[in-house]
Amino acid sequence: MELTGKVAIVTGAASGIGRASALKFAAEGAAGVVVADIDEAGLRPVADAVGGLAVRCDVSREADIRNLVEQAEKRYGRVDVFFSNAGIIGGGGPEAPDELWDRMWKVHVMAHVWAARAVVEPMLARGGGYFVITASAAGLLNIVESAPYGVTKHAAVALAEWLSIAYGRRGLGVSCLCPQAVRTGMVPGDGGSAGVDGILSAEAVADEVVRTMRDQRFLVLPHPQVLDYLRGKTADYDRWLGGMQKLYQRAHGQG
């Protein structure tokens, strides 16, 4: 898909990948860019920079996502691209509080479900559209610092796959963004275990999102090494698990 003349919604757009992607979409000639975030103050300069619309949205609430889409349609008449990008971070394993598990499930999974519920059928009725989900390399490979993050990002990848399976031959393009460490407020200084292949700028990630959409490919891999790791995982699952156990021990000071 070419973004020229398209109307796009980007969530989590006050900073990081969302902000960079909104700016990139506008630079690519989008007819309208709607930026959404829970951080209203951070949204305003982004909306000004893209000449678009800012809508406060807590993606953990379906009503907020419905309102976001309604506001976009009211301003621009349609939605051609939905970039469901908002995310949160938090550590721990099974002992992590239910509140964290629940919020991650809503933000990393249900937000995409609710967005698809709101925009996919109208897109198809107009002949097609594009839906992008930000997952993470953690959605393909897991992550040693956080069970809630790894589990919900796996679910995000599965949902993106399902959307492509169900709607890909009806005109919906679907891509799933799976980077390792990106220089945003969610990433620690050294990137943690995700920083092994370097920390990319949000702008570099946004560039890769646009390239992948143009080619209509599913996986957006700003760190190309992730594909090699995924192949290694599927080639020998037990060996891969052994390597991840060692990485977990190092990350948690156990060896």
Classify residue 254 as exposed, middle or buried by CB count within 10 Å of its CB (0-12, 13-18, 19+). exposed
Residue 33 pairs in a beta bridge with 8
Residue 132 pairs in a beta bridge with 83, 175
Q: How far apart are CA 240 and CA 234, in angstroms?
A: 8
Residues recognised as catalytic: 149
Classify residue 152 as exposed, middle or buried by CB count within 10 Å of its CB (0-12, 13-18, 19+). buried
* Inter-residue contact 28 to 145 (CB < 8 Å): no
Residue 200 pairs in a beta bridge with 182
Q: How far apart are CA 11 and CA 238, in angstroms?
A: 37
192 dihedral zone (left: phi>0; alpha: psi -120 to 50; beta): left
